[in-house]
Every structure is written in structure tokens, then in C-alpha cells.
A = this chain, B = another copy of it.
């Protein structure tokens, strides 16, 4: 038997002890994450910063309040007198930027303030702004990265997605019977799924920047497109309602009473809609607007995540939850990767993502001619 090789899990060698993030710094990072969340989701990432004295006391706090305003580090430094940050440690949720946009590079601001050490959670994922850590090191600043990186990554995940793809993260949600229907033959569909599933949907709506529906669904269902609690009251965070399609929305439509002004796109070009939303700083979109729209997003390959709520009922009939998704033949099937299956009361929630395209494994090649999926 061959000797087993064990992966090395030794701590990385470090020249100086003080390069390890201390407990005080980790606490400060958690505080910086809290501060970051106070900022708006938009064109820029949410970032928070805390300035610590060499003794570990908080000297100042800051966060980014949106495009055109000071970055978090600069916001924190601005609360201190010119020399107060000399020798201090800056704890920041994201790698200090190294580029000049509407504001100057944060790395430079930190150097000029005399900051001796920078602890940040997450490397800047963008090409334009990265390099801040190198610049700081080159100026003799101690730099440490990594603490609370997962939380920091989660915080800017949608923004990162937008930077990488040029469009918001898109979740397409629908509810269906086990046999794939959205309604019974006569169109009735009230509460196919139960209260637990609806609660889950509303919580997820609240996490999105925008909720997208088609004009057909707005006309037929008159949805409020709000995120609501069980008692019908509005949750604190509300997605912006976005209506896509060419028919008119009635002046007394429920969506016009949404706490946020609805946005109307009189087009079927979903790519254009998403690009425009991205330019407005919409990082995360929740598509919940009926079979036609859901099918179009799938057909165009624009879904990053699917939420399929399955009620344990059979309905039959022609009211399908999904229509033409652009699959003429089985070889073109839209393959998914199931991330989770969860029970919500009587219902199931399947969370899936588009699978990386590629052939199925050889094991799946039919061994016998004439074999068929239905029965063989």
C-alpha cells in the first residue's frame, strides 16, 4: 500500500507577531462590518472602517454612504484631527482602494494620515481598484488581511457579481404544483403553497434591490410586489418594483401604491433591462413576475439562481409554471445544479443554479437503442 500523503496544515510563517490580527482587531472588524451595512447598496460596495489607537481603543468609525461620497477609511479619518491617526491601525472590511475615481485612492489617504498598520477582511475583487495593499506595504505600513473574510465577502457578493458580469444577480422564483402547474385549469391558484413558503418568499424579496414582474402578471394578478410580514405589514427593506413589458399598467394598480416608485420598461429585451438596472446600482434582482417572464429569463440564460417552491399537489391542465424555455430537443435541456432541498411546511423549496454546460457522464449514455425516459 502506498504511503499516504498528508496535506500540510502548518501556520504560515510570519516574521513579526504583530502581523497576526489581534482579538481587538477582530472585534473592530466585526464593528466595521456593522458600519458597512449602514451604507446603501448601489454602484459602490458597502464598506466599513474603524481606526484603533496603538492601545486598541476605537478612535473613529466610518462607512461609505454611496457613490460620490467619501470611502469608509476616509470617512473615519475625517473625524480625527490631522495627526490623531499617526501610528494607529485602520481596520477595514475591504482592501483599501488604489485608484482615483470620484475620490482619491484610500491607500494614499491612509499613508498620508500616518497609519502604521492596516487590517482588512477581503481583497478587492476588481482590477481597477486593487493593489492598495501593495501600495501600503511599499510605504512601510504593516498589512494584514483575512479576518472575517467570509462575512465581508457575503456583504459585497452581489456587488462583486455586478462587477464581474455587468448585470445584477438574478434570482428567478416561481411556485408550482408537483406537476409543474402554476394554477388549476380555470386559472384559480390562491395559495398553492402554504404560509411557511410565503414567509420565505417575502423574506427573500426583502433581500433584493428590485423585484421584477411582467405587465401581463401585473394586469391579471394585480400584485403589490412588496415584502410583507405574516400580518400583512411591510418589512423594513422593500425591493424596488420593476415592471417589464409592453402593455400598460392601470393607474389604480396595486404596484402604484408601492412604498418605492415603480420602474417601467416597455421592452422585452431583458439584457437591456438588467444593464440599465446595473447602472442604477441594483445589485440583486428577484424575478417573480409570472410564467412568461420566468421562462424568458431562463431562455435568455439570465438566471443566476432559481427558487422553485413545490406544493405537494397535482393540478394537471394547461396553466404551466414555465412555458417555452428555448429547449427544442433533450440535448439542449437547461441543466441545473441543485444547491438545496428544504421543507417549508407541506411544501418543498428547491434552490438551484444553472449547471456548467457540458456533456453528461458516459454512464448516462443509453446502453440499448429505443430506451426512453418514460418507461423502458
Whole-angstrom distance from the CB of A212 to the nearest CB of chain B? Answer: 10
> Within 8 Å of chain B (Cβ to Cβ): is A234?
no
Copies of this protein chain in the complex = 2
A288 cross-chain contacts in B, Cβ below 8 A: 374-375
A314 — which chain B residues lie within 8 A by C-beta?
A: 298, 322, 325, 327, 333-334, 336
A65 to chain B, nearest CB (A): 33
Instruction: Give the number of chain A interface residues (Cβ < 8 Å).
Output: 87
Q: Tell whether A213 is near chain B: CB-to-CB under 8 Å.
A: yes
Q: Is the CB of B335 within 8 A of A313?
A: yes
Q: How far in angstroms is the closest Cβ of chain B from A196?
A: 9
Contacts of A190 in B (CB 8 A): 330, 366, 371-373
Specify the main secondary structure of chain A where it touches its partner.
Answer: loop
Closest B residue to A332 by CB, please name it: B184
Contact with B along A215-239 (1 / 0, CB 8 A): 0010011111100000110000000
CB distance from A159 to the nearest CB of B (A): 26
A352→B312 contact, CB < 8 A: yes
Q: Which residues of B contact A224 (CB under 8 A)?
A: 376
CB distance from A23 to the nearest CB of B (A): 41
Kindly report which residue of chain B lies nearest to residue A309, judged by CB atoms. B373
Complex interface: chain B residues within 8 A of A346 (CB): 338
A263 within 8 A of B: no
Residue of B nearest to A188 (CB): B330
A179 to chain B, nearest CB (A): 4
Q: Are B325 and A316 in contact (CB under 8 A)?
A: yes
Residues of chain B within 8 A of A193, CB atoms compared: 373
- Interface residue ranges of A174-218 to B (CB < 8 Å): 174-186, 188-195, 213, 217
Is B295 a contact partner of A312 (Cβ separation < 8 A)? no
Q: Tell me whether A136 is interfacial, beta carbon within 8 Å.
A: no
Residue from B177, B334, B366, B374 within 8 A of A313 (CB atoms): B334
Closest chain-B Cβ to A82's Cβ sits at a distance in Å of 55
- CB–CB A308/B178 < 8 A: yes
Residues of A whose CB lies within 8 Å of any CB of B are 174-186, 188-195, 213, 217, 220-225, 231-232, 254, 288-291, 295, 298-299, 308, 312-317, 320-338, 341, 343, 346, 348, 350, 352, 355, 360-361, 363-368, 370-376
Nearest 8 CB-CB pairings of A with B: A180-B180, A316-B325, A188-B330, A189-B373, A314-B334, A221-B372, A312-B336, A313-B333
